[in-house]
Structure formats: structure tokens, C-alpha cells
Structure 1
Amino acid sequence: MIAMTPVLERGYTWWDRSLFPRDEFEERTRMVQKAMAEAGLDALVIWSQSYHTTGQLAYLSGWPMGGAVLVRREGEPTMFSPGGGREQYFARMQTWVEDMRSVPGRLGAVIAKTLAEDGVPGGRLGIVGYDQMSVGAYAEVVESLSGYDRVDFAETYAAVLAPKRPREVLAVRNSLTIAAHAVEAGVAAWEAGASNAEALVEAERIARIERARDFRGLVNSKGTELRPFERVSEARHDQLLLWIAIDQHGYWAESANGVAGTAATKAVDAMVATARVGATAGAVAEAALAVLPEAARDSALSYGLGAGVGLSLDEAPVIEPGNDALLVEGSLLSLKTYAKGASASIATATVKVGAEGATRIVPN
């Protein structure tokens, strides 16, 4: 189909039923319904943007795009896809949800009508995704669902999603493998004489070949500053700093060409050593800053020290000084450091948090 879209909206997209069979989503739905019952909710609406989603909707639907999911206290959810039905056939092949409906507009009104038809004309309605709504969408939801006691359920929902299930850990490892291969390809191209920008292009080429759905990359195409691809450039610097993040099946991972013994690697190692159940995100950040040269701390904080990872590259908790959020058993963290200085360096690590410490997730 020829569409009036001048950019690549997504890469390879499919539902791997061997990785995520139907019963995986059924079990997730039961977990969420249990949390709903404990909170006294009559129904739950999970809202997401059209493309760059937070992963909240995908957790239950498997659909790594936008729309809304209506979860009842019992039974299977209903998914509402924004826009017309042009992509309905494609979307239906990506999700286990059988009740999928295209909604061109006024999604709040459609949800209210569906709830009324289900015999739930009022009551406590949980909402996840207020932060994803446009001003117009928020106003329409408030108007259409005014007959319900609306409860912001985001914090409780995030607590359900924080510990990663075994198949989720495997999905992140698979994404990490693609990201690592992309970094290796970029480094090999640079070592063979490619420019820094060309190394980033080669990294994306390999990531797409290996079925990355989405791709993000930074490279030092101008001195030591990390930048996304902006234009073809023949500039080849004395050093290559390459950071790659990819998503497959909605699950993200990041990798970089870290070198042992550098300031960035030492900082990441310090964070890994500090991360454990009960530690705060702020303490993990302070561990990195404590081993970094003073000149490198600003760049490390500017580019970020990491966060939770899974269906989003920046899940809670954000690793930053002063964050008192406690690390949760079974959660995954993606830690990173970009240390600027006389000799710039970059490093990453993906870890699973446990009571005895953090376990590194390594590529397949």
C-alpha cells in the first residue's frame, strides 16, 4: 500500500507466539484483574498514544502501538484502535484480543457506551495513561466518563508490571542481542574506514535485518558529542562512541561500545554493584558519580544514568540523584554512563534486581 507517510513508522512487526503464547496474556490479565478487585474497581481503561507508547497497553494486549484497552473485573479485555479500519487486518494478527474495535474519534464516549452495554453504567473506573492524553482527549474523557468515579490507577498498575515475568526477561535479552550485534557491526565498519555517521547507519542496517521493530542511535559524529543521525558525513574521528537501543515485540534494550577500564565502564560497574532489592535509585546514581572524574559528571547526568527497562526504555525508577524509589525484586534496569573528558567513554549494562544484588543480562 502506498501511504502518505514520508518516514518509516515501524520496522519488522509480528506476534511471536512461541515467545508470547496466548496464555501469557491471559495470566497477565488475571494479575491486573486481581489488583482491580483489591482496589474496588468496576473496570479499568488503559490509554496509550498512537505510536510512541509507554508499553502500558502492550502489556495486556501484545499490541505495541496505540489506542485503549478496557479491562473488566472478569473475562477478556476489549481493545479500541484509533482511526479507521485500514490497519485492522494487520493489527488483528498482532494481538490475542478478539474484541478489537476501530474508533475514529471520541474514544471516551465509545468506552462509556461499551460499559453501559456491559451493565456498568457507573462505579469506580480506573484510568491508566492520563499523561498520554492530549488536552482534547483528556477533556473528552472527563466529559464522557463523568458518571464514573475515575481513579488514577497508574501507580498500582506500574507496581504490577515492575517485576518482569520469565518471558519478558527473555524478550529483553533478545532485544539486547540485536542491539549488541548492531554495535559490533558499527564498530567493524568504522575500523574498516567508515565515518562515524556511516558506522551508525551500518548499525541500524544490521538491527533492521535482525528484525528490530524500532531503532534509536547516537554517535559522536561531531567531536565527542553524541548525536542522532542528521546527514551523510565523511567525518571520521580518532574515536568512535556508539550507543544503540532497539525494540522487538515492544521490549527494549540498549548497548554501547564500552571498553574495560574506562571511566564510563567503572561507573556502570559501580551501579551494578549497588543495585539490589531495597536500594534506592538515588543510591545507584550516587555510586556512579562517586567513581567518575568531576569533569565527567555533568555529561553523565545530562545523558542519563539509566532507568527501568522493559516495554519502555525509561520505565520507573529513573536512576538519578535524590530519587528515593526503592528497587523491586525481579525488575530490570538498563544502566549507562557517558563520561566526557580528555578521553570520552561510554558503557551500558542490563541487570535483573535481586535480594543478593544485581545479575547482568547478557546477549544470547
Structure 2
Amino acid sequence: MTTELTAPARGFERAEFDQRTARLQEAMAAQGIDAVFFSTEPEFRYFSGFKSQFWESPTRPWFLVVPSQGRPIAVVPEIGVAGFAETWVDDVRSWPSPRPEDDGVSLLADTLDSVAQRHRRIGAMLGPETHLRMPAANFATLQASLGQCGMVDVSTIVRQLRSVKSAAEIGKIRFACEVTAAGFDYLLTHLKAGMSEREACKAMHIEMLRLGADACPYLISASGPGGYDNIIMGPSDRRLEEGDVLIIDTGANFDGYFSDFDRNYAFGQVDPTAHQAYEAVFASTEAGLRTAAPGATTGDVWQAMWSVLEDAGALGNDVGRMGHGLGMQLTEWPSNVPKGDVVLQAGMILTLEPGMTFAPGRMMVHEENIVITDSGCELLHKRAWPTLPVIG
């Protein structure tokens, strides 16, 4: 029987962008910030609704200015102006890019200067897990052009705003998750010994696209006798053999929103310790599901999961965290880490990703996607199998 899924509506109502911008402007007012500029795709899209594959090219910069009042102002290459007819942004300023001698820097400086007259404070994404997507020399030129304006970091404000998702955002992520879960189920009946990791991943990729994913830009795998020793490389051309354990970790994308989780498969008879490790990470996830709720912290979630793994004899957790935020990016703030102090709120979407080294050179990692609700949390997709599935 062929699986079919129904995708949610694309895009957002204009009221959602109005609300996002108003929340940012409220935080700006509290800190005396006149304007914020964004130059990276997720933030640009979050406040403007502008969605383009042109971000894949490093040639042209794109800027969005959010003043203390009113709608954002786009400062973009001329080639992109027409694309704003589909957005709520009506003030679009442009230049003929590429123009290396002044690729929008003076136009951006003039725009910022015009809306930063009160406090002379301008915000930018300058904190951890961010970047500016513009040459350092151009940023220095921008700062010099703005004279007495101070540049302040707004990454904390923005990541807090983006971490709590709207109902429409949750719907898109849920669909991306459902597509991925169905892809993993498809593999359960199509995997066989002798396939390569690459062939297995390609089969899943094609099925996820058929089910409605726009893209699967992140699809990795690892395998080995009785386990695997890394989860960031692959897929490779290694052939899957009797006794192997295979992990596939993937993030499907729908309308600009990601899923991110993994599944494990055994081929024939595998070392019993692999089955035990699988059951340990499954139980660890259960502990995370019981703990993740409004008022709990990311540290509480980490400790709940790690306690189970520690009791199961884990030699360590080389991943460094056990889950993270999820949304417009494959990984977002916050991270589930020891003593993490981020308080969970309804609407946050996280992954639960317990991992353990259960023998020298052998890991077992498990990952699920959840949304924090008013009373706890909810899985965004079908739960993984409680025991390690065996192929063949």
C-alpha cells in the first residue's frame, strides 16, 4: 500500500509577520535600539516572508532593516526586487549588484542612519551560532559610515522570538516530520544486505520527495559491525553486511522548515550489546518525553536522559548535547546540555537526541522531534520502534 500525506498550506498570513515584527520592536524599545539589520536567510525570511533559492549564491548580499516602528525595509540587489511583490514589505531599496566596490553597503548605511536618529543604537546578529554573511571589510565600512551609532548584539532577542513557533510553523514542521517518518518506514521494507549506505539513503530521499518534501539537504548515514563510530560523515559506498548496524540521520524540508531525526537498523544477527544499547537510548528518550514540559529547563531534559544512559553503562556521549531547537534551520537554539538553564515554553520545538558510546569505537544515537505543549510535550511524528529492527 502506498503512503500518501496531505501537506499544509504554504506561506503565512500577513498578520503573522506583523506579530513577529511587533514582538521584535517591543524588545528593541526596551533596550533603546532604533533599528536592527539582518543579512542571513533565516532571519531575513522570518521577518519579511521573502523566500528565494538565490541565497545559495554567495555573490550578492541581501539586507533587511527593521526600524523601531513600521514595517521592515528591504535593501536588496535589483534582481530581487520583483520577489517582494509577494511579501508584506512595501519599502524596497536596491542597487545593481554585483558591485564589489560598494555592494549595497552605502545604501544600507543610509537606510540605517535615517531610522536610527533617537538612541543611535543599531542591532545585528553578533552572538554565538550566528554570522553576518558579508565580508569583514564591508562590515567595518558600514560601522565607519554610521559614525556615532553603536552596534549591539540582538541574537539573544531574536533566538528567543524564533524559538516559540506559531501554529502555522508547527504545522509545517509536523509535515516535514511525518514525511521523514514515512521515509524511515519505507526503508524498513526495502533495505537489504548488499545495498550500500548511499543506495539506502538515495532510496529514502526519493521516497521523501514523493511524499511531499521540498528537499532533503541533510541526509547522512554510518554503519559498522555491531555499531558505528561516527554520525557526521557518510553516506559512503560501504556495502551493508550481516551483523551491521546502520543509522540514517536526516532533515527533510517543507516550505522552509525542517525535521531532524534518525532511525537505526540491524542486518541479521548483530552483537547483543547493540540491541541493549538501542533499548537504552529508547528508554532515555522516554525519560526526555516525561521531562520536557513548560517550566523545565534544557538541563533538566539532558539530566533525565543521561541518567538512563549512565545506568545502562554508557562510556560517554561524544555528541556534546542531547538535542536542540528546530525550525527554519536544521539546528537552532537552544541545546539540551548539562546544567542548561533555558526554560521551556509552550510552542518550542526540540529534538531529543540521546547518544551513548556503549563499547570502544561503537555508538548508538536516537533522535525524535517534539513540540512543547501547555501541559507537557507531543511527538511530531510516529515514534521509533521500541526494539532494534532486524533486516533479513
TM-score range with shorter-chain normalisation? Answer: 0.7 to 0.9
Deviation at 1:132, TM superposition (A): 0.9
Cα RMSD after superposing both structures: 3.1
Contact 1:265 1:346 in 2 (8 A): no
Deviations 1:112-155 (A, max 9, x none): 21244x46456333323224125334323322223313222221
1:362 and 2:381 matched: yes
Aligned length: 339
- Tell me which residue corresponds to 1:213: 215
Contact 2:224 2:245 in 1 (8 A): no
Question: What amino acid is aligned across from residue 152 of structure 1 in structure 2?
Answer: D
Question: What amino acid is aligned across from residue 254 of structure 1 in structure 2?
Answer: D
- Tell me which residue corresponds to 1:254: 260
Deviation at 1:273, TM superposition (A): 1.3
Question: What amino acid is aligned across from residue 125 of structure 2 in structure 1?
Answer: G
- Tell me which residue corresponds to 2:122: 126
TM-score, normalization: structure 1?
0.80
Deviations 1:163-182 (A, max 9, x none): 21111111111111222233
Output the CA distance in 2 between the equivalents of 1:187 and 1:140.
55
Output the CA distance in 1 between the equivalents of 2:217 and 2:382.
17
Output the CA distance in 1 between the equivalents of 2:173 and 2:90.
26
**Structure 1 portions without partners, runs of 5+:** 1-15
Query: In the alignment, which of 88, 109, 112 is matched to residue 109 of structure 2?
Result: 112
Contact 2:222 2:235 in 1 (8 A): no
TM-score, normalization: structure 2?
0.75
1:243 and 2:240 matched: no
Name the CA shift for 1:297/1:107 in 2 (closer, same or farther; >3 Å).
farther
Question: What amino acid is aligned across from residue 72 of structure 1 in structure 2?
Answer: P
Output the CA distance in 1 between the equivalents of 2:205 and 2:123.
36
Output the CA distance in 2 between the equivalents of 1:303 and 1:222.
22
Deviation at 1:92, TM superposition (A): 4.0
Deviation at 1:29, TM superposition (A): 1.9
- Tell me which residue corresponds to 1:5: none
Query: In the alignment, which of 293, 318, 321 is matched to residue 338 of structure 2?
Result: 321
Contact 2:24 2:157 in 1 (8 A): no
Output the CA distance in 1 between the equivalents of 2:315 and 2:332.
23
Question: What amino acid is aligned across from residue 215 of structure 1 in structure 2?
Answer: P
Name the CA shift for 1:160/1:302 in 2 (closer, same or farther; >3 Å).
closer
Name the CA shift for 1:87/1:179 in 2 (closer, same or farther; >3 Å).
farther
Deviations 1:309-347 (A, max 9, x none): 122232222111132222233211111123343685432
- 1:2-21 pair list within 5 angstroms: 18-21=10-13
Query: In the alignment, which of 67, 71, 88 is matched to residue 76 of structure 1?
Result: 71
Output the CA distance in 2 between the equivalents of 1:110 and 1:218.
41
Deviation at 1:307, TM superposition (A): 0.9
Residue 250 of structure 2: SS of its match in structure 1?
strand
Residue 217 of structure 1: SS of its match in structure 2?
strand
1:278 and 2:295 matched: yes
- Tell me which residue corresponds to 1:43: 35
1:174 and 2:156 matched: no
Deviations 1:78-117 (A, max 9, x none): 2234xx545555x44764434443554444432221244x
Question: What amino acid is aligned across from residue 106 of structure 2 in structure 1?
Answer: A
Deviations 1:11-67 (A, max 9, x none): xxxxx865413332222222222322333322221231xxxx5x2222112235473
Question: What amino acid is aligned across from residue 261 of structure 2 in structure 1?
Answer: S
Deviation at 1:303, TM superposition (A): 6.3
Contact 1:275 1:284 in 2 (8 A): yes
**Structure 2 portions without partners, runs of 5+:** 1-7, 56-60, 266-274, 384-392
- Tell me which residue corresponds to 2:234: 229
Output the CA distance in 2 between the equivalents of 1:95 and 1:232.
44
Q: Identity over aligned residues, as a percent?
A: 22
Task: Point out the structure with max Rg over C-alpha.
Answer: 2
- Tell me which residue corresponds to 1:7: none
Name the CA shift for 1:182/1:166 in 2 (closer, same or farther; >3 Å).
same
Name the CA shift for 1:30/1:242 in 2 (closer, same or farther; >3 Å).
same
